[in-house]
Structures are given as C-alpha cells and as structure tokens.
Chains A and B, each alone.
Chain A
Amino acid sequence: MDFSLTEDRRMLSDSLSRFLADKYAMDHRGKVAYDAPFHDVALWGEMAELGVLYALAPEDAGGFGGAGFDVTTVFEALGRGLCPEPVLGALMASKLLAAAGADQAALLDGSRRYAVAIGELDAPYDLEGIETAVTDGKLAGRKSVVYGGNDADVFLIAARSGDRLAVYEVAASDAQVTGYGLIDGGGAAELFLDATPGTLLLDNAEAALTDALDAGRLALCAEAVGAMDATNEILLDYLRTRKQFGVAIGKFQALQHRAVDVVTEIEQARSITILAASRIGEADQSRAVSMAKTLVGRAARLVAEEAIQMHGGIAMTWEAAVSHYAKRLVMIDAQLGDVDFHLERVMAGYAA
C-alpha cells in the first residue's frame, strides 16, 4: 500500500501547477475563458511543450504515461487551476487513436486539436441512443455540446454503421460547426453532419468508446477534486477573514460544521477517484468509474453550493473567483454522465 505519487508524477504535477499558477491566473483566465475561441491558443501550445499531453498516452502510442494515475495527476492540476483548455478531448481522442493503432504524434505535440463527438441532444451520455449514422462513408446527424469542438481541427465521431457503432474521423473544415462558449468557461460546439465525408477509424467501436468514456469520466472526477480543493481553500480563507458581528464568520458554529462537511465530502471524493484510477484496465473499470462519477458529482455540487452560500452576496458576483469554481463544479456533472446516469450503472450490477 502506497498513497504517494511516483517521482515522475509529482514532477509533472508540480510543473503543470506552477505553469497554471503563473500563466493562467484568474484574471488571465477571465480574459480568455469566456470569449472566442474560449481558451488561449498560445498557452495550449506551451502546455503541450510541458509534455502534458504525452502524459496521457502510453509508450506504445508515443507517450510516457496513460495509466489511470497519470490521467488523475494531470486533471487534478487542471481542475485546481480551473483551466479551460480542451485537454479532455485530447485524452479521449488519444484512447480512440490508440485503440485503432493510429498515429497520434500530432495530438501529443499539441499541433492538432481533437474533439470527441459522442453525445447527442437526446442521448447525451449513453451509447445506445446514438442516432448519427454513416452510409457509404458519409455521416448524417447532429452531435450536441461537443466539448472543445469550437476550436478543434479534427472530430472523432461515434456513428451507427449498420448494427454496429463505428468511429469516424472528420476534418473540422468538412463539417458544419457552430461554436459557442460555456457558462463555466471554455468552449463547445454543435456539429451538424449531412452527407459529411469521414474516414473510418474504428469499426465495431463499442469497447473502445467505453474505454475512452471511462478515461474521460475519471479525468473529470480528478478535475473536480482539484477544483474542490481550490474552492475549499478560497472558502476557508474567507471564513477566517470576513467579519460580521465583530468576529470572523468562521467563529460561528453554524458555518464551522458545514465547512467540516465540505472537507469530509472532498476527502471521500478524493478516495473514490483514487479507487477508480486503480481500476482502469481491470474487469470492474466501468463500475468503479461510475461509483466515482456519482460520488464526485454529488460532492462537487455540494461544495459549490455551500461555498456560494457561506460567502454570501459576494459569491453572486462575476468578480469573485469562487463563483467561477462553483460554476465548473456544478456543470462538470453534466459531462459524460451525471449522478443519476452513473448511479443506474452501479445498480445494474445488482441484477442477480
């Protein structure tokens, strides 16, 4: 039993955290996260130079990581820094490219940005409901809220091909892409496909899609843990310094006990994320990931709502950092399966 990070991962975590603290401070984030292209193209390149994307792929795919704990190390730091860069798409695309045995050098060096388009308006989380279909190599359908899709070079698209699910690669220039910003920062797009030409990447892709989704879900859990830690620090600092009735509000037991509950939930979220990271590649991967996404989704919303409430009016302002963390923590649940979706996946295991 060892709950410490390896030396390599600690160094990666430190350098990424330092980079984000230096270059992606809240005022800079405020300038780039809410205006097109909803991220910082130059910093994307610098982050790639740090080797962040290589950490997401295994050696045989050209990277130097790719394990569950590599993913959590990167995304915990991204969450702590509230980074709006489209790294999630790169992670999931890397998994799909690796499954296909395709070259991903341009993904790992950051020169080509990928977005993964799976969810649809009426099937945001599940593979079963996908209606986008491919006929004679042409795709038709609509992909909804494709994260990072507003500024992607390439889309990897899940589509029905006969009775199977396939993954097609589509150049952004070949599709109709309507980009927009997100309420919690960063960008996404609606993707309209109508006789859109694509290249087959994976036939019979259900297992590969599930792996990519599970990796993405694990990443989101870790991102939430990092963001919850940062939110908690902001909250505790506020409880120590904000005075009302002549004392710091952290002296009031009504708030103290709620602050303890916030910390308790964060520790539980950290634990279940560690568990999920350790199960990646094992038979119970999906079950562990769903348990994590359920607990983290619930904890993240609690931390966000409690942080807002205990801050009071100031947390209702755009200017306060806590409000941006809170938005991310609430909205992260709607990515790749919310609390109810993943709870049902856990329950499905009870069938005798």
Chain B
Amino acid sequence: MDLSFTDEEIAFRDEVRAFLEENLPKDLSEKVRIGGELDKDDMDRWHAILNAKGWLASGWPVEFGGPGWSPVEKHIFEEEAARANAPRIVPFGLAMLGPVLQKFGSKDQQDEILPRILDGRDWWCQGYSEPGAGSDLASLKTRAVRDGDHYVINGQKTWTTLGQFANKIFCLVRTKTDGKPQEGISFILVDLDTPGIEMRPIKLIEGGYEVNEVFFTDVRVPVENLVGEENQGWTIAKFLLTHERTNIAGVGFSMKALEELKAQARRIKRGGKPLLDSPLFAARVADVEIELEAMKITNLRMLYRAQTQGQPGPETSILKIKGTVIRQTLNDLSRRALGPAAAPFPSEEMFGNAALGEPEDVYAAAKYFNNRKLSIFGGSNEIQRNILTKAMLEL
C-alpha cells in the first residue's frame, strides 16, 4: 500500500502545474472559476494552446498524435487542469470519436480525421439520443437506408451538446429493423453541411444553450463514412461507455468546488458570524468533504487497476454514481449558502457589478440547476446501477 505518486509522477505534476501557470489565460480561468458560460472562441483558444504543447488528446497514444500518457499521468493532468480552473476539454472529438476511430476506423479515416480533430479544423458533436430513445438507446429509430454508394438518413437526434459550434456529427443509426434492436445499429459520420440537416437549440432549465435537436431529412451520406462494419454500432457504443472513464468521477472539479464553498461560507455572515461557524451548515460541508476524500481514493484505486490490469472494469460506474452526486451536493450547498442572494437571474448586468455581489455568487443557482444533468447524462445513474447489477453483482 502506497498512496503517493512516484518521483517521476511528481516531476510530471510539477511540469503540468508550471505549464498551466504560464499558459492558461487568466480571463479563461476566471470565467471557469465563477461558473460562467464559455463560448466557442474560449474553447478553441484553450484547445490550440494545449495542442501546441502536444497535450490536447490526453488519452491518445503517441502514434496518433497523443502524448501517450499512462492512466496515472492522464489523471494528474486532469486533476491539475481542474485545480487551475482550466476549461474542460470538449470530449466529443478528442475523448469519444478519436478512440473509436483508433480502434474501429479504417486507415483512411484515421489519417484524414484525427489530425483535423487535433488542430480544431473539425468540431464534432454526438448524435446518440432521440426523443424516444434516451436510457433505452437501442430503441433508436433514425434510419439509414443504403442507396447505391450512399446511405439516406431520416430521423431526429436530440441532446446534441454544443452542436451549435460543430461542423460534423457522429451518429448511431438504424440499418436493420428485424432481429434484436442492438444488432441493427451502425456508427456513421456526417458532415453537418449536408443538405437536409437542421439544428435547433434547446433552451435549458437555467436559461442557457448547451444542447440541440438535430433533424435529418433525406440526408445522403457516402458509405465510406461508416465506421467499422454495418450493424456494429452497438459494439462501438458500448466500447465508448467503458472507455476513458477514469475521469468520470470529476474529482478535480469537486475539489475545486469544495474549496470555493468553504471560502464562500467563511465570507457569508449569518447572525453576525461566518456561516461556516454554524454547526448545522458545517456538518453538511463536512459530510460531503468526507465523501469526496473517500472518492479520491476510490478513483485512485480504479486508476491503479487500469494501470496494472489494462482497462478499468464496470466498477467505474461507481465513480459516476457517487462522483456526480458529490458534485451536485456541493452545488446545492453553495446555492443554499447564499439564500435569497442566489435568486437573481444571472444576466450581463449582474455580472461584474460589484454592488450586486461577488461574481462567483451570480451563477450559483444556475450552476446547481445546470448540474442536475450530471446524474442524467452519459448513462443515467439508474442505468449505471443496471450495468453494475449485471456486470458486478451478477444478479
């Protein structure tokens, strides 16, 4: 038993820390700190800085232009990035499509697409969920029918995150309607400029725009855009579900949120004393801090397993369930700490107006509402429990 990093890993951590200190633009880190909304330019800028260093595709092997980090190095990078309030790396091209192409894509697809993900020429988004296929993803109905050397796609995708910034979309589509639903699904790449595609924004609970609906009407896509074999899409979807999930707990984000929460609860006064002096509130903070301390070790244990035994197992679902609830609890406490001061709608006039409060307070309620998504997306926490039931408990 040894919970510490090796000397090499500590040297690596220091290198990452120094790089972030020097290269992370202050306006970006401040925006992340207060929970503000990042625009496309913000994200592109940060991606370009990391790409110039060769650190953008943290999970990719060297042969495809990644840094070839071990699971522990990847973890250290992610933890340090969160600690420095770096913008999150947009995962759709880098953490999702990239690994899929590296495992299932043709040589041509790898050569053409991967470099364009790295340098930002392509912004990918995800077409998985449909209005009638959420947790029951295999029941998806968007059809792709072969017509010569094209597929013709008709249907609707939804919850397409940051689709408004994208020029490409990877989709799960139905290519066979008989047999088991899982056996008739294919994974296909679509250019969003293709005629017949319409993207509509969905306004979210807190008022922001993150996700979209995508409508497909007789969209013609070349057959070479298929990834892997026809009807192999479910295998690819499942691969993604267990791949790259060591950061799923969001431990770095939670550590940052806890630090902010304590600072906030020392600043906010109740009955003339800091809120953190209230035993009731302090007990709530301590409860979640203890869970987070345990989660850090649970996360490291899974990392250790990934490092020593290859891929992490289905146990990573535990990280998702517990990690998301911890983050949500921290957001909840931050909102409750402010009381009625969390109620004003976060508008441009509010932000940066010292008379109206600290900038990190402005978004507290919005962040709480927005992060209710954490336990819903990426396989809801109930779906994670189903996965664990089968794979781990063997019930």
Spell out A's residues near B (CB within 8 Å). Answer: 1-6, 69, 236, 239-240, 248, 250-251, 253, 256-257, 259-261, 263-264, 267-269, 271-272, 274-275, 277-278, 288, 291, 294-295, 343-344, 346-347, 350-352
Contacts and interface: CB of A to CB of B under 8 A. Distances in A.
A269 B1 CA distance: 16
B290 A272 contact: yes
Contacts, number: 127
Interface residues of B, number: 48
A272 B290 CA distance: 8
Nearest to B72: A1
The interface centre, meaning the residue of A236, A248, A347 with most chain B CB atoms within 10 A of its CB, is A347
B295 interface: yes
A278 B3 CA distance: 7
The interface centre, meaning the residue of A5, A248, A350 with most chain B CB atoms within 10 A of its CB, is A350
A4 B1 CA distance: 6
Contacts of B4: 1
A2 B297 contact: no
The interface centre, meaning the residue of A5, A259, A264 with most chain B CB atoms within 10 A of its CB, is A264
Given A275-B3, A350-B276, A350-B282, 9 more contacts: A2-B304, A3-B305, A5-B1, A240-B394, A260-B385, A260-B392, A268-B298, A274-B297, A350-B285
Given A272-B290, A291-B293, A350-B286, A257 B301 contact: no
Contacts of B294: 268-269, 271-272, 275, 291, 295
B interface SS class: helix
Interface stretch (B13-21, B85-93, B190-198, B314-322): B314-322
A347 B283 CA distance: 6
A271 B322 CA distance: 13
B270 interface: no
Q: Which 3 A-B pairs have the closest CB atoms?
A: A271-B297, A250-B395, A272-B294
Given A69-B1, A274-B1, A263 B321 contact: no
Nearest to B287: A343
Nearest to B266: A352
B328 to A, nearest CB: 15
Nearest to B304: A3
Nearest to A256: B389
Contacts of B240: none
Contact of B282 (A1, A259, A268, A347): A347
A268 B322 contact: yes
A347 B290 CA distance: 11
Contacts of A347: 279, 282-283, 285-286
A236 B290 contact: no
Contacts of A272: 290, 293-294, 297
B291 interface: yes
Interface in B203-237: none
Contact of A294 (B290, B298, B318): B290
Contacts of A288: 293
B300 interface: yes
B315 to A, nearest CB: 7
15 contacts: A1-B307, A3-B300, A239-B393, A259-B393, A260-B389, A269-B294, A272-B294, A275-B296, A291-B289, A291-B290, A344-B283, A346-B289, A347-B282, A347-B283, A347-B285
A26 B282 CA distance: 42
Contacts of B300: 1, 3
A239 B388 contact: no
A350 B274 CA distance: 11
A274 B3 contact: yes
A278 B300 CA distance: 14
B353 interface: no
B2 to A, nearest CB: 4
Contacts of B322: 264, 268
A4 to B, nearest CB: 7
Interface string B381-395: 010111011001111
B256 interface: no
B382 to A, nearest CB: 7
B12 interface: no
